[in-house]
Amino acid sequence: MLRSLDDALALRDRLGPGRRLVVVGAGFLGAEAAAVAWRLGARVTLLEPAPVPLAHAVGEEVGRVLARAHRERGVDLRTGATVTEVTEAGVRLADGREVEAEGVLVAIGSLPNTEWLAGSGLTVADGVVCDAYCEAAPGVYAAGDVARWHHPHFGVPMRIEHRTNAASRAWRLPGTCSVPRRANRSRRCRTSGRTSTT
């Protein structure tokens, strides 16, 4: 688990010159962890099922640049590599091969913690479904990683795992805006001296 400062310090203690780390998933977190582990002297294998890492987020061209940057520095980036199992020795790939390591970091995304909302009456579909104002039901609001909110500009529901999204969506909650919600879709919100228009 890599969630807190203590988790990060514990991981750092397992790394160092010559230590082998397998990172499963070359998304933002996996790539970042791989780069830091490499800088600490670890031998890093970065495994990613997609042909180009991060292409879904930054496009193929930039994804290829990032892949080259990792490889040029000595990270053993393997694309088209799907991990099926964490083993005693490291991890096993879908083709049966094993990659050995002293440490394994799995960075393949997260699931919203919504099981406890079963039967609550809220709509849960990979997150708590809510409107553009974070309202999931009358008087019930969701913000942050767990919220799947309607994006008025793109016209689709979105769930974004990003700290800035958590903070900016929280602004939409009642009590954080000076104008009553729904009264005007272009509202001015003021928090901590900053102003935004939605």
Residue 113 sits in the site that holds ligand FAD (CB under 6 A): yes
Residue 62 sits in the site that holds ligand FAD (CB under 6 A): no
Task: Say how far apart CA 120 and CA 11 lie, in whole Å.
Answer: 38
Residue 144 sits in the site that holds ligand FAD (CB under 6 A): yes
Residue 2 sits in the site that holds ligand FAD (CB under 6 A): yes
Nearer Cβ to ligand FAD (92/160): 160
92 to each of 11, 24, 37, 57, 125, how far by Cα in Å?
A: 21, 11, 21, 26, 31
Nearer Cβ to ligand FAD (110/184): 110
Task: Say how far apart CA 144 and CA 166 lie, in whole Å.
Answer: 4
Q: To which H or E segment does residue 33 belong?
A: helix 28-39
CB of residue 38 to ligand FAD, shortest distance in Å: 17
Residue ranges in 17-56 that form contacts with ligand FAD under rule CB under 6 A = 29
Residue 161 sits in the site that holds ligand FAD (CB under 6 A): yes
Concatenated DSSP letters of 131-174:
-TTSEEETTEE--GGGEEEEETTTTEEE----HHHHHHHHTTST
For ligand FAD, which stretch binds (CB under 6 A), given 53-61, 68-76, 79-87, 163-171? 163-171
Please give the residue ranges that form the binding site for ligand FAD (CB under 6 A): 2-3, 29, 113, 116, 144-146, 161-164, 166
